[in-house]
A = this chain, B = another copy of it.
Amino acid sequence: MAKELIVTTRLHDYPIVIGENLLTSFDFSPFIKGKQILIVTNETIAPLYLQQLIDNLPTDKKIATCILADGEQYKNQDSINQIYDVLMREHFSRDCTLIALGGGVIGDMVGFAAASFMRGVNFIQIPTTLLSQVDSSVGGKTGINHPLGKNMIGAFWQPRLVLADMALLTTLPQRELSAGLAEVIKYALITDLEFLNWLEKNMQGLVSLDMSLLGEAVLKSCQHKANIVAEDEFENGRRALLNFGHTFGHVIETHEGYGNYLHGEAVAIGMVQAMKLSQKMGNVSLDDVARVEILLKNANLPILPPKIAVETALDLMSHDKKVKSGQIRLILLKTLGDAYITADYDASSLQQVLQN
């Protein structure tokens, strides 16, 4: 049985449909605008799912495809230009639909291409990783990396539909499943202690691909994200909480080169660092920190950062989008299940955390 969650945005409302074997059975017609469809996917996903998707699309449409290289290192302007080139060569009009079939990298890029082609066209997300199902399917953040920083170029743009098919997770490498669980755990940590308890109880099942449990975790995560985003679509306040662990995590990703750490792995380490700083600030306890470390380990996630000089880390942090008039702002926890954003923390405590 498919579950549905309606996401409300300023541009329009759209459903996230969560279930099993949706790729081959869902009726896309109501969500497709115009007669031209471009499916963008990558070299890993195309042989697995592209033809299945094409076979399930309405037969009266012109369908073009664009298959990009797979990996965060290709989340750049060149890939966007490849999408534009197909759209232009195939005479796509404003009245068309783009479909993103892939993980967060594909979703973010196709979203940005959809936002910027002819100043905005219709698009559909079919996230093929757990991370993209729980993260990029809500919020309208699209974009690419700049050589000097992650996600620096982009736009806010909303899909018309998100289809989260749990069956697609069966071909996902275990390491990527765990990376997705990092973001699931994040929602629990910043906003929902009860969900944290549930995750601790069910982590074994989640890790071993129990579809029903995964569907519940995706729904809960998307609900939390949707609630926060609805309050603050353009990230002026509360939405920043979603970046818990991310400022630290971005440092790792940038320093180690895109693609060497999975995003969720870097976030897992970043969350531990943010927890440690929260503990040094007198908020959470050492036991809380240990509890989260155990949960992350049970999700097969790393918890220790690679070696990065403190000054380098601080310099990389200064590029973060949350920097306001030169001040690095961080997301910390008051208690488990309750996060806040602040520029008011002890600089030496931050340095200690970065030194570890």
Q: A93-B321, A324-B95 are in contact. Are A88 and B119 (CB under 8 A)?
A: no
Return the CB mask of A136-153 against B: 1 if under 8 Å, else 0: 000001110011110011
- Which residues on the B side are within 8 Å of A94 (C-beta)? 321-324
Complex contact A116–B321 (CB within 8 A): no
Complex contact B154–A84 (CB within 8 A): no
- Which residues on the B side are within 8 Å of A115 (C-beta)? 155
Complex contact B34–A84 (CB within 8 A): no
Interchain nearest-CB distance for A229 vs B (Å)? 13
Is A257 part of the contact surface with B, judged by Cβ < 8 Å? no
Is A69 part of the contact surface with B, judged by Cβ < 8 Å? no
Is A118 part of the contact surface with B, judged by Cβ < 8 Å? yes
Contact residue range for chain A? 35 or more
Interchain nearest-CB distance for A107 vs B (Å)? 15
Complex contact A119–B155 (CB within 8 A): yes
CB neighbors of B among A297-356 (8 A): 318-319, 321-326
Q: Which of A115, A152, A154 has the most CB of B within 10 A?
A: A152
Set B93, B116, B141: member contacting A323, Cβ < 8 A: B93
Q: A146-B88, A318-B91 are in contact. Are A118 and B152 (CB under 8 A)?
A: yes
- Alpha-carbon distance between A217 and B156 when the two chains are bound, in angstroms: 36
Complex contact B93–A325 (CB within 8 A): yes
- Alpha-carbon distance between A143 and B93 when the two chains are bound, in angstroms: 16
| A62 nearest in chain B by CB position | B326
Complex contact A84–B119 (CB within 8 A): no
Complex contact B81–A77 (CB within 8 A): yes
- Alpha-carbon distance between A324 and B34 when the two chains are bound, in angstroms: 8
Complex contact A153–B35 (CB within 8 A): no
Is A259 part of the contact surface with B, judged by Cβ < 8 Å? no
Complex contact A324–B93 (CB within 8 A): yes
Is A26 part of the contact surface with B, judged by Cβ < 8 Å? no
Return the CB mask of A82-126 against B: 1 if under 8 Å, else 0: 001000110101110000000000000000100111111000000
| A156 nearest in chain B by CB position | B119
Complex contact B77–A116 (CB within 8 A): no
Complex contact B154–A119 (CB within 8 A): yes
- Which residues on the B side are within 8 Å of A149 (C-beta)? 88
- Which residues on the B side are within 8 Å of A77 (C-beta)? 77, 81
Using a CB–CB cutoff of 8 Å, the interface residues on chain A facing chain B are 34-35, 77, 81, 84, 88-89, 91, 93-95, 112, 115-120, 141-143, 146-149, 152-156, 234, 318-319, 321-326
